[in-house]
Chain A
Amino acid sequence: MCSLRVTTDADRLRTELRDNSVRVIDVRRAEDYKKDHIPKSVNLPLAVLLSDDDPQRVAKIAQSLGIDDQTPVVVYDDTFGALASRVAWTLEYLGHADVSLLEMTYGQWKSLGLETDQKEYLFGPKTHSVHPRPEILASADYLEKRKDQKGVILVDNRERLNYLEQHIPGAINIPYRTLASEDRILRPHDELKRLLKNRGVVDDAEVITYCGSVGTLSGLAYYALKSIDYPNVKLYVRSFKEWKGLNKPTTKQENADYWDLSAE
């Protein structure tokens, strides 16, 4: 079972909104949503979802937002697509088939002068089944067992300095900022393909992505890889925070004071 599309462009979303054939989820904070949002979108702040993302609860949330198994869902944020990715991935994990990311951030949507609205929307409850998809999830144990095996590539999506300082042994670093273009949350397909090919991330590998704590930045990477049809991608959703908490091995770039090159 595979999502029908990874990103949705603005024109398509506007058509679907007119036809009432889509559910749009705004994952920004409630106060931002209240100010304005894409018309007919519903609000699911990432923090609300993350407080308990057990599939049973996620199914209930989906139902309350008027999403059943067949409802096409488009998710957006104003944080370069990373928060939206985490929400989309959670729905996908639940077993929802048709979930995609708006190809731009809300800020970009607004700057293009596209419709916004202040009205808050609620849709009648629907029924959503629970068919978890463990094949898109990596746990710490799974990762530890698999990461050094042939054909498995571990990708760290945090910023370069964080990676240099500490990372899971064997991981390569593709900072989340690498994935976006200037006006889209993901680069064009040919660019992504070339970039990953240069880095040795081949499409017949099992690719596991991780980031700092809750799988947002690596969630974006998950969708970047899916957008170019990598068939076997997993998100280590609890990411480096859990890995360190479990006292599992880490490694670093030794004998260089790279932090002092930063102007932060």
Chain B
Amino acid sequence: MSKVITKPEDPRMPAINWARGEEAENFAKTVRLYRQGKIDADSFRRFRLQHGAYGTRMTDDYAMVRIKIPAGQIYPHQLEKIAHLSEAFSIGSAHVSTRQNIQLHWVVLEDVSEIMRELADVGLTSREACGNTVRNVMCSPLAGVCNKEEFDATQYAIATAKFLLRNPLNQALPRKFKFNFTCCEDHGMVRMTDVGLIPQTRTIDGKPQRGFKVFLGGGLGNKSFVGHQLEDFTPEEDLLYTSIAVIRVFDRLGDRKNSARNRMRYLVDQMGWETFQNLVLKERAIVRVTQSVIVKLDVDTAVQDISSPVRISGFDDKSIPDGFSRWRKTNTCKQKQGDYYSVSVTLEAGDVTANQLRTLADVCREFSAEGHARNGFVQDLYLRYVQESDLPRLYSRLLKVGLANPGSLTMVHPVGCSGTTSCNLALTNSHRLAKEIQRKFIEMRLDEDDDLRDTTIKISGCPNSCGQHEIATIGFYGGGSRMNRDMYPVYQMSLGGRSDGQTMLGVSVIRIPAKRTISAILKIIDTYKENKKAGESLKMWIHKIVTGHADSKVKSVDDIKKILLPLTEVPAIAADKDFYSDYGSDSHYHTRTGKGECAA
């Protein structure tokens, strides 16, 4: 507590205040009217979602508040505020999502306005974090430091978010709409979103010109699609016009009746890419001539303030804690800026306690020369611009609060959606499974195996892909199965999904009982080790199999299926009671779902 008072002023503060103070009071008033029966349930739900409060599993009393972190940039005092809010109004932990939001779960609906009020104190908002709006605008957590990027897309992402937030253009779209900016092909998912953008430069008349590769109509869900590239090069002055044009086409033609099939990717699929592409290009021509000249993206071109903290004493080599070199190898990467490193902090399925958030705020002030943190695409959080000589010191600080687990940038860092911990649609506890896999694989030191490093594991608790299983090297989505009259939890496994330059959806393999999923992954690793060629990673080996280019004994997905088949044998309930319960539960498994709100 004492630290709060003596803390120095943060030298760097966010440039943009995303909040509007009056929205909190309006929300509180509307909740009262709803509870008094003066607003019908459907209208209230739309209002609630527009303000970033999502429903909670099996109850109307609680909500999940989704705090948007545009481009993932979050400042120390904001982390501290979220720590406080999680203790005051939630479960004492916050959840870092796959779309650069930070979520507070199990919030009493009547307390949501208090959270909004306090978020406004630090310039954050949950506005348009849910509902049929433009959701949080993402940007790669490595934008600005990535070795492969052409330029830093961060300020373009932030300017886009600023232009679209509360913009009448997108307050009632047919369905939610997502923008992802990235740094390069490898560190983002531009083909798996409505609008994906990679920075590009070209030279015209000897002058370099900035622009983007724009991908449209991709996305994960019950039915997933890979996005299409709009044109060779979209110059930066066309970025805003293109964004407006795409939103307008979707707004006009998107399906407002069939909510299960109305993301923009379905529209693209139905009319065919070329037709859609032409519509967007024509629309953009109209937008270009009809928008006022003052309608512009307000891109902040100020040079980033990078200033490393001054150290009075060095770090004594002898006091480097155990595990440092393992952590350094699996959690840090060198930036394009010489001596600086980016550090990925290991979370379990995105969960972080209030105290851990406070420590993150402290170490961010102390070690990041840019003075803020970035959350990423895989329920993670980065501290960037850390001096190499500070890494041991940072490690020992993280160690004290349980944030120094290794493997953040490896296979042992699975994504798990919230599953039955809070979601109405979930069939299994995917969240807990992700944690179980992580704990087991760290214990087995699989994070140190370079062959496995670029493999990803992602888990959804139902077919709707919030856990992004279809772009995982090894993906799972949850469901229920039955032996006679007894149900048990299962996961449909898919292999070979990826979201980089060779983006493809995973290929369905087999349904594995929940309590056999870890064995199944280990079986695949064993098989790979027996069959791999020199220099071939697990990801490469699986890619060859699912694309029909296998050159080992294991030729096809069917071969893998055969190898895994013994794991699907169902024991009698008397022989193995555990098999019939889900992770995190002692009781007999049964499926139970409520109404989803993604399409409300």
CB of B105 to closest CB in A, whole Å: 6
Within 8 A of B (CB), among A242-264: 253-264
- A260 touches which one: B111, B114, B352, B435 (CB < 8 A)? B435
- A258 touches which one: B87, B114, B422 (CB < 8 A)? B422
Which B residue sits closest to A105, measured CB to CB? Answer: B1
CB of B192 to closest CB in A, whole Å: 25
Within 8 A of A (CB), among B327-348: 347-348
Q: How far is the CA of A59 from the CA of B88 in the complex (A)?
A: 36
> Provided the pairs A111-B6, A161-B92, A178-B88 are in contact, do residues A256 and B420 lie with their beta carbons within 8 angstroms?
yes
Contact B1 A161 (CB under 8 A): no
Q: How far is the CA of A262 from the CA of B91 in the complex (A)?
A: 7
Contact A258 B92 (CB under 8 A): no
Q: How far is the CA of A42 from the CA of B583 in the complex (A)?
A: 51
Which A residue sits closest to B112, measured CB to CB? Answer: A198
Which residues of A have CB within 8 Å of B108?
172-173, 199
Q: How far is the CA of A107 from the CA of B95 in the complex (A)?
A: 30
Q: How far is the CA of A180 from the CA of B113 in the complex (A)?
A: 17
Which B residue sits closest to A185, measured CB to CB? Answer: B1
Q: How far is the CA of A108 from the CA of B5 in the complex (A)?
A: 8
Contact B106 A160 (CB under 8 A): yes
> Provided the pairs A161-B91, A261-B351, A263-B348 are in contact, do residues A255 and B2 lie with their beta carbons within 8 angstroms?
no
> Provided the pairs A111-B6, A264-B353 are in contact, do residues A177 and B429 lie with their beta carbons within 8 angstroms?
no
Is B201 an interface residue, CB under 8 A from the partner? no
Which A residue sits closest to B352, measured CB to CB? Answer: A263
Which residues of B have CB within 8 Å of A256?
56-59, 420-422
Q: How far is the CA of A259 from the CA of B422 in the complex (A)?
A: 10
CB of B533 to closest CB in A, whole Å: 39
Total interface residues in chain A, CB < 8 Å: 35
Which B residue sits closest to A107, measured CB to CB? Answer: B2
Which A residue sits closest to B420, measured CB to CB? Answer: A257
Q: How far is the CA of A177 from the CA of B354 in the complex (A)?
A: 11
Which residues of A have CB within 8 Å of B585?
257
Which A residue sits closest to B416, measured CB to CB? Answer: A260
Q: How far is the CA of A262 from the CA of B88 in the complex (A)?
A: 15
Contact A264 B93 (CB under 8 A): yes
Q: How far is the CA of A151 from the CA of B420 in the complex (A)?
A: 36
Is B90 an interface residue, CB under 8 A from the partner? yes
Is A195 an interface residue, CB under 8 A from the partner? yes
Is B584 an interface residue, CB under 8 A from the partner? yes
Is A49 an interface residue, CB under 8 A from the partner? no
Contact B110 A199 (CB under 8 A): yes
Q: How far is the CA of A105 from the CA of B2 in the complex (A)?
A: 9
Which residues of A have CB within 8 Å of B92?
159-161, 177, 262, 264
Which residues of A have CB within 8 Å of B187?
none
Is A164 an interface residue, CB under 8 A from the partner? yes
Is A112 an interface residue, CB under 8 A from the partner? yes
Is B84 an interface residue, CB under 8 A from the partner? yes
Is B475 an interface residue, CB under 8 A from the partner? no
Contact B5 A183 (CB under 8 A): yes
Within 8 A of B (CB), among A105-122: 105, 107-108, 110-112
CB of A223 to closest CB in B, whole Å: 17
CB of B288 to closest CB in A, whole Å: 46
Contact B105 A261 (CB under 8 A): yes
> Which of A161, A195, A200, A260 has the most chain B CB within a 10 Å cutoff?
A260
Which residues of A have CB within 8 Å of B583?
260
Which A residue sits closest to B403, measured CB to CB? Answer: A263
Is A93 an interface residue, CB under 8 A from the partner? no
Contact B2 A110 (CB under 8 A): yes
- A255 touches which one: B1, B58, B352 (CB < 8 A)? B58
Contact A257 B106 (CB under 8 A): no
Is B592 an interface residue, CB under 8 A from the partner? yes
Contact A183 B4 (CB under 8 A): yes
Is B217 an interface residue, CB under 8 A from the partner? no
Q: How far is the CA of A198 from the CA of B116 in the complex (A)?
A: 13
> Provided the pairs A110-B2, A199-B110, A261-B95 are in contact, do residues A255 and B57 lie with their beta carbons within 8 angstroms?
yes
Is A80 an interface residue, CB under 8 A from the partner? yes
Which residues of B have CB within 8 Å of A264?
92-93, 353
Which residues of B have CB within 8 Å of A260?
419, 421, 429, 431-432, 435, 583-584
CB of A65 to closest CB in B, whole Å: 26
Is B356 an interface residue, CB under 8 A from the partner? yes
Within 8 A of A (CB), among B1-17: 1-6
Which residues of A have CB within 8 Å of B6?
111
Q: How far is the CA of A177 from the CA of B3 in the complex (A)?
A: 17
Q: How far is the CA of A212 from the CA of B92 in the complex (A)?
A: 17
Contact A261 B113 (CB under 8 A): no
Which residues of B have CB within 8 Å of A198?
28, 31-32, 110-111, 113-114
CB of A199 to closest CB in B, whole Å: 5
Is B136 an interface residue, CB under 8 A from the partner? no
- B421 touches which one: A160, A175, A194, A261 (CB < 8 A)? A261
Is B375 an interface residue, CB under 8 A from the partner? no
| Chain B positions 506 through 546: 1 when the CB is less than 8 Å from some CB of chain A, otherwise 0 | 00000000000000000000000000000000000000000
Q: How far is the CA of A253 from the CA of B419 in the complex (A)?
A: 16
Is A135 an interface residue, CB under 8 A from the partner? no
CB of A196 to closest CB in B, whole Å: 10
Which A residue sits closest to B428, measured CB to CB? Answer: A257
Which B residue sits closest to A178, measured CB to CB? Answer: B88
Contact B592 A255 (CB under 8 A): yes
Within 8 A of B (CB), among A175-225: 175, 177-178, 182-183, 194-195, 198-200
CB of B318 to closest CB in A, whole Å: 31
- A259 touches which one: B88, B352, B584 (CB < 8 A)? B584
Q: How far is the CA of A200 from the CA of B61 in the complex (A)?
A: 13
Which A residue sits closest to B58, measured CB to CB? Answer: A255
Which residues of B have CB within 8 Å of A263?
93, 347-348, 351-353, 356
Which A residue sits closest to B594, measured CB to CB? Answer: A255
Is B89 an interface residue, CB under 8 A from the partner? yes
Contact B351 A111 (CB under 8 A): no
Is B455 an interface residue, CB under 8 A from the partner? no
Which residues of A have CB within 8 Å of B93?
261-264
Is B418 an interface residue, CB under 8 A from the partner? yes
Contact B106 A258 (CB under 8 A): yes
Which residues of A have CB within 8 Å of B592?
255
Other than the known A159-B92, A198-B113, what 18 A-B pairs have Cβ atoms closer than 8 Å? A107-B1, A108-B1, A112-B5, A159-B87, A160-B90, A160-B92, A177-B84, A178-B88, A198-B32, A198-B110, A200-B110, A256-B420, A256-B421, A257-B582, A257-B584, A260-B431, A260-B432, A261-B418
Binding site for B on A (CB under 8 A): 80, 105, 107-108, 110-112, 159-161, 164, 172-173, 175, 177-178, 182-183, 194-195, 198-200, 253-264
Counting from the closest, the 10 A-B pairs by CB-CB distance are A111-B2, A263-B351, A177-B87, A260-B432, A261-B421, A107-B2, A256-B57, A178-B88, A263-B93, A260-B584
Binding site for A on B (CB under 8 A): 1-6, 28, 31-32, 56-59, 84, 87-93, 95, 105-106, 108, 110-111, 113-114, 347-348, 351-353, 356, 418-422, 429, 431-432, 435, 582-585, 592
11 contacts between A and B (CB under 8 A): A105-B1, A108-B1, A177-B88, A178-B111, A183-B5, A195-B111, A199-B111, A200-B110, A259-B421, A262-B91, A263-B93
